[in-house]
Chain A
Amino acid sequence: MENVLMLFGGFQTVFAFDNLAACLLGAVLGLIVGAMPGIGSLAGCALLLPLTYKFSPTTAIIMLGALYYSNMYGGAFSAILLNIPGDSPAVMTSVDGYPMATKRGRPGQALFVSNISSCIGGFIGILILTFTGPALAKVGLLFGPAEMTSLLLMAMTSVGWLMGENPIRGVISTLLGIILATIGMDTLSGSPRFNFGSLYLMGGIPFIPFVIGSVGFAQIIKIMASRGSLSSQLVVNKLTIRGSLPSLSDLKRLLPPALRSGVLGTFVGVLPGAGATTAAFLGYAAQRAFKSKDPLGSGAVEGIAACESANNAAAAGAFAPLLALGIPGSGTGAVLLGGLIMWGLTPGPLLFSKSPDFAWGLIASLYLANLVALAISAGIIPFLVKILSVPVKLMIPLITVVCFVGSYSSSNSMYGVCIMLASGVLGYILDRNKYPIAPMLLAFVLAPMLESNMRKAFIISGGSVDIFFSRPISLAFLFIMMALILFPVIKAIIRALRK
C-alpha cells in the first residue's frame, strides 16, 4: 500500500509541466533513436546526457528513462519493415517480424503485435518494479559467476539447438558467433587476442556494424537474388490505422506469450549484465516450449510477442538493481548511473527514502512513457507500413545508405563499414545454406559475458567444474539445458522407432 501511495506521489511529480514535457520528448527521441540502425539506447542516452546538465535531476532522469524505455519500441520498426534491427534486443523481432510483414503481407499487424506486446511486457516489468524493486534487486545478487555461466549456456544452447531445421547448423552458427567475439581484448586480463597485429581488430568486431551487415546488408544481397518476388509484389494495407490493426485472433495469440515473457524478461533484466538482449532471446527460446499457430521463424505472432514483451520488461527490470543497489544492468544502465552521480545522487537502498521524488518520479514516468510510446507508435504505423509498398529497386540503394551511415556512426570509423560489408557476405552465405543467423548474433553479444563469468567461476573454484553443479540455481539451469538438448533427440528416436 505504501508503494502505491509513493507511486501516486511519483505521478504528481511527473505531471509537473517540465517533467511531462521531458517524458514526452524522451519517448519521441527514443522511438527515433531506436528505429535508426546503429544508434541504440546506449548512444542515445550518452548523446543526450550533456543536454541534461541544466535540468533538475528528476527531470533529467525522467527524460533519459523515457528515452531508454521507448527505444525498445523503436528498435522493432526497422527490424520488422527492413530486416535491419535498430538495436541488439530487436534481433529476435526480425526473425518473425520480417516474414510476417513480407511473406504474409501483414506489416501493420506485425508492428501492432510488436507494440502491444512491448506495452504488456513493459507494464508487467514496471508493476513488478513498483512493488518488489529493492527485493528483486537482491535476488539478482544471488547470481554469481557460476549461475551466470549456466544461464548464458542455457540461453545460447536453447536458441542454437532449437532454431532452424537442423540443430547442427544452429550450433555451428552459435559457435561461430563465440569465436568471432573472442577477437579483440581478453575480457579479464585486457591483453590483445586474435588481433593478428591489427590495431582495428584489437578493439574487437563492433556489434552494430556486425548486426547491420549480417542481417541488413545480407538481406539486400538476398533481395538481389530473388528480385520481383518479395516486397514489390506485396499488397500493402490501406493508409489507415484500421487497415493495420491486428485481428481478435492475433490479440488472443499474442497475450499468453506476452504475459509469460513479461515476467521472464523482468527477472532477466534484474540480473547484472544480462539486459534486454538476453531477455529477448530467452523469451523467444521459451516460446518454443509452447504451441504457436504458425511455426516460429515463419512470421508467427507468438514469436514477435515473446521477444518484444521480454525486452521491454527487461528494460524496466534493469532499473531495480540500478536504483536499489547502484549496479547497472547494461551499458545504458551505466550511462544512467553516471548521470545519477553527476546530479549528486547516490543510488542504493536509501535512494527510495532519501529522494522519493526522484525514484518514484522515474518509476511513474516509465508508466507514462509506456503509454506515450504505444500511442505514438500506433499513430505512425500506417505511415511506416507504406515503406513496404516502395518498389524493391528503390529500396536497395536506400537500405544500402542506411547500412553505410549506421555502421559508420557506431564506430566513427570506416572500419565499421568494412565489418558491415564482410558480415553481409557471411550472413548471406549462411542464410543461403539455411544456417540461422540469430544464434550467431546472440552468441556474439553474450560471449564476452559468458567467458568472463566462466573464467571467474573456475578461478573461484580453483579449476574445479564442481562449482557449476554444487550451486542449486546453476544446477537447475544446466538441467534445463540438458533437457533442451535431449528433448529433440529423444523425440526423433521415438519417431524413428514408431516408423
Chain B
Amino acid sequence: MRAYLKPGTIIPFCSGALSVFWIVYGLTRHGFWDSSKGPLPGFVPVLMAALLFVVSVLGFIGSLKVKTTPDRLENWTILLAAGITFALVFLIGMIAALLVFVFVWLKFYEKTGWKNTGLILLISFGIAWGVFVLWLGVPFPRGIIIDAIAGM
C-alpha cells in the first residue's frame, strides 16, 4: 500500500484558515471592545487570531520552498485501531475494549508469541484496573452489553 498524504504547506494553510474563521466568529458572536465595559470575550481570541493570520501567511510563503517527503497511510494503522477501540468502549466497556485491542494488535498485527501477549495483557490490566479502578477509583464505562447483563 503506497498511498500518500500531501504534507508541506498544510499547517500554515489550515492555521491561516482557522485564524480567519476565529476573527469573523469572534467579532460577530462575542464582540471585541465596548466603550464602557472594555475588552469583550472576543478580544483576546480575535487579537491572537489576527497575529496567527500574519505569521501563517509568512509561514505559508516560507513552506513553499521546503521539500517534504509524503506520509505513508500505513503509519495511521494505530489511529484506526484506536478509533475501533474507542467505539468498542461503548459496547463492552473501557477495560475489556483495551484488552481486546492489546490482544488483537499483538496477536494478529504484530504476530507476537503467546507468552509476550499474555504478559502485556497482564500489565495492561494491572495499570487499567489495579491502579486506576482499584486504587484511584476511576469509574470507567462498563459498556451497554455489560450494563445490560448486570441489569438482568
Contact = CB atoms under 8 A, between A and B. Distances in A.
Interface in A139-186: 166, 168-169, 171-172, 175-176, 178-179, 182, 186
Contacts of B150: none
A454 B45 CA distance: 12
Interface in B61-118: 62-63, 68, 71-72, 74-79, 81-83, 85-86, 89-90, 94, 98, 101-102, 105-106, 110, 112, 116
B144 interface: no
B94 A175 contact: no
Interface string B1-32: 00000011011100100110010011000100
Contacts of B10: 429, 433
B20 to A, nearest CB: 12
Interface string B108-148: 00101000100010011001100110001111110000000
A47 B45 CA distance: 34
A417 B86 contact: yes
Contact of B101 (A171, A224, A400, A424): A400
A221 B75 contact: yes
A80 interface: no
A189 interface: yes
Nearest to B12: A172
Interface size class of B (residues with CB under 8 A): 35 or more
Interface in A165-216: 166, 168-169, 171-172, 175-176, 178-179, 182, 186, 188-189, 191, 193-194
A435 interface: yes
A404 B85 contact: yes
A289 interface: no
Interface string A5-34: 000000000000000000000000000000
A113 to B, nearest CB: 27
A425 interface: yes
A435 B76 CA distance: 19
A493 interface: no
A225 B77 CA distance: 10
A186 B85 CA distance: 34
Given A224-B75, A394-B112, A401 B52 contact: no
A354 interface: no
Contacts of B77: 224
A182 B86 contact: no
Q: Which secondary structure characterizes the binding site on chain A?
A: helix
A393 interface: yes
Contact of A458 (B38, B78, B82, B140): B38
Interface centre among B41, B42, B82, B132, by most A CB within 10 Å?
B41
A394 B116 contact: yes
B59 A169 contact: yes
A432 interface: yes
B138 A168 contact: no
Contact of B11 (A36, A400, A429, A451): A429
B142 to A, nearest CB: 13
Contacts of B26: 194
B38 A459 contact: yes
Nearest to A403: B82
B78 A193 contact: no
Contacts of A412: 138-139
Given A397-B124, A409-B136, A189 B41 contact: yes
Interface residues of A, number: 57
A433 B8 contact: yes
A69 to B, nearest CB: 20
Interface in A422-463: 424-425, 429-430, 432-433, 435, 447, 450-451, 454-455, 458-459, 462-463
A393 B110 contact: yes
Contacts of B8: 433
Given A221-B76, A435-B11, A458 B94 contact: no
A193 B22 CA distance: 11
Nearest to B9: A433
Contact of B43 (A39, A171, A179, A455): A455
Contacts of B79: 221, 421, 424-425
A182 B59 contact: no
A397 B45 contact: no
A432 B71 contact: yes
A179 B110 contact: no
A397 B33 contact: no
A175 B14 CA distance: 13
A189 B30 CA distance: 11
A175 B48 contact: yes
B72 A225 contact: yes
A455 B33 CA distance: 10
Nearest to A455: B39
B111 to A, nearest CB: 9
B110 A191 contact: no
B56 to A, nearest CB: 6
B106 A168 contact: no
Nearest to B99: A401
A394 B106 CA distance: 7
Interface centre among A166, A179, A408, A412, by most B CB within 10 Å?
A179
Contact of A400 (B63, B82, B112, B140): B82
Given A179-B45, A225-B72, A421-B86, 11 more contacts: A172-B12, A172-B59, A179-B49, A186-B41, A221-B78, A224-B76, A401-B98, A402-B127, A418-B86, A429-B10, A459-B38
12 contacts: A168-B59, A168-B62, A394-B110, A397-B105, A404-B85, A405-B132, A418-B86, A429-B11, A432-B71, A455-B39, A458-B38, A463-B38
When A and B form their complex, which 4 residue pairs have the shortest distance between CB atoms, in order from nearest? A186-B41, A175-B52, A182-B45, A225-B75
